């Protein structure tokens, strides 16, 4: 149980285009999902908290118009990187909080984004 | 604000030996959770073990156990009988209990890269 999937696993795009990353909780309903960014050999940096049916909460310094988050259902959250630039190249990881019992976060396998 | 500190950037251990990874945290909260996550070369974050702050008993999961010292705000991870598959980055993380949404975010340490040598 507690499986989270992410799609795509890897994406290469041209500068100026938008990229959508999907995060799904496969066997539980997640009212809250989280989006992280991880640079090589560094820790995870929380970008935003995604709540089903409401607006996402962004961390300080994260541009909400640049990183659009939609949590339209209890099992799906999407992150859209708009007008991507090379500096947006990174590893993006989502997690979903299982509210049953202990509030543990389960992580997706991550998406590697390369902007040319 | 809560902070999590992992003072060992890298560690090495021989296969079958025991290794302890250190983690300290700072918080004024009384109710919280602590976690150890493992990130192997595949970069998939895997939950290793979790501890509720209100529980005095140290959590154990097979070869993994923690030494939770609430007063000292210390949460170390012990890996017994180390295996080659334990080679990974290990992250200690803190989460405040209660509330909802953004209040349940994880705060990660900087990680410890563990190499298990054959």
Count CB neighbours of A23 within 10 A. Answer: 28
The answer to whether residue B101 scores a pLDDT higher than 60 is no
CB contact under 8 A, A49 and B101: yes
pLDDT tier for residue A2 given thresholds of 50, 70 and 90: confident
pLDDT tier for residue B18 given thresholds of 50, 70 and 90: very high
Contact at 8 Å (CB) between A35 and A67? yes
The answer to whether residue A35 scores a pLDDT higher than 80 is yes
Q: What is the pLDDT, as a whole number, of residue B102?
A: 52
Contact at 8 Å (CB) between A10 and A92? no
Q: What is the pLDDT, as a whole number, of residue A54?
A: 85
Backbone angles phi and psi of B112, in degrees to 5: -125, 120
For chain A, what is the mean pLDDT? Answer: 91
Contact at 8 Å (CB) between A36 and B81? no
Q: Which residue of A has its CA nearest to B113?
A: A41
How far is residue A38's CA from residue B20's CA, in Å, rounded to a whole number? Answer: 25
Percent of chain A with pLDDT over 70: 95
How far is residue B34's CA from residue B106's CA, in Å, rounded to a whole number? Answer: 9
pLDDT tier for residue A25 given thresholds of 50, 70 and 90: very high
* Mean pLDDT to the nearest integer, B1-6: 91
Count CB neighbours of A56 within 10 A. Answer: 23
Q: What is the DSSP letter of B59?
A: P
The answer to whether residue B103 scores a pLDDT higher than 80 is no
Q: Give residue-wise pLDDT tens across range B47-98.
A: 999 999 999 899 999 999 999 999 999 999 999 999 999 999 999 999 987 6
Residues of chain A numbered 31-90 and touching chain B (CB < 8 Å): 31-32, 34, 38, 42-44, 46, 49, 51, 57
Q: Give residue-wise pLDDT tens across range A6-22.
A: 999 999 999 999 999 99
Q: What is the pLDDT, as a whole number, of residue B5?
A: 96
Q: What is the pLDDT, as a whole number, of residue A28?
A: 87
Phi-psi region of B90 (alpha: psi -120 to 50; beta: other; left: phi over 0): beta
The answer to whether residue B37 scores a pLDDT higher than 90 is yes
Q: For chains A and B, what is the number of CB pairs under 8 angstroms? A: 55
Q: Give residue-wise pLDDT tens across range A74-99.
A: 899 999 999 999 999 999 999 998 76
């Amino acid at each position: 149980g507690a499986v989270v999937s992410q799609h795509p696993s890897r994406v290469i795009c041209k500068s100026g285009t938008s990229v959508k990353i999907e995060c799904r909780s496969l066997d539980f309903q997640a009212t809250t999902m989280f989006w992280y960014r991880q640079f090589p050999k560094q820790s995870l940096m929380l970008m935003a908290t995604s709540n089903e049916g409401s607006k996402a909460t962004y961390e300080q310094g994260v541009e909400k118009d640049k990183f659009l988050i939609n949590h339209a259902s209890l099992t799906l959250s999407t992150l859209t990187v708009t007008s991507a630039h090379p500096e947006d190249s990174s590893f993006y990881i989502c997690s979903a909080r299982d509210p049953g019992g202990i509030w543990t976060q389960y992580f997706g396998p991550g998406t590697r984004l390369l902007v040319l | 604000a809560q902070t999590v500190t992992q003072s060992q950037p890298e560690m090495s251990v021989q296969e079958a030996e025991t290794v302890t990874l250190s983690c300290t945290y700072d918080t004024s909260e009384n109710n919280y959770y602590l976690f150890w996550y493992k990130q192997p070369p595949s970069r998939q974050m895997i939950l290793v073990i979790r501890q509720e702050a209100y529980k005095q008993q140290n959590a154990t999961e097979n070869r993994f156990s923690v030494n939770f010292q609430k007063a000292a705000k210390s949460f170390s991870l012990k890996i017994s009988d180390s295996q080659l598959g334990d080679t990974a980055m290990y992250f200690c993380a803190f989460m405040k209990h209660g509330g909802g949404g953004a209040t349940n975010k994880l705060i990660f340490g900087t990680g410890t890269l563990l190499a298990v040598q054959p």
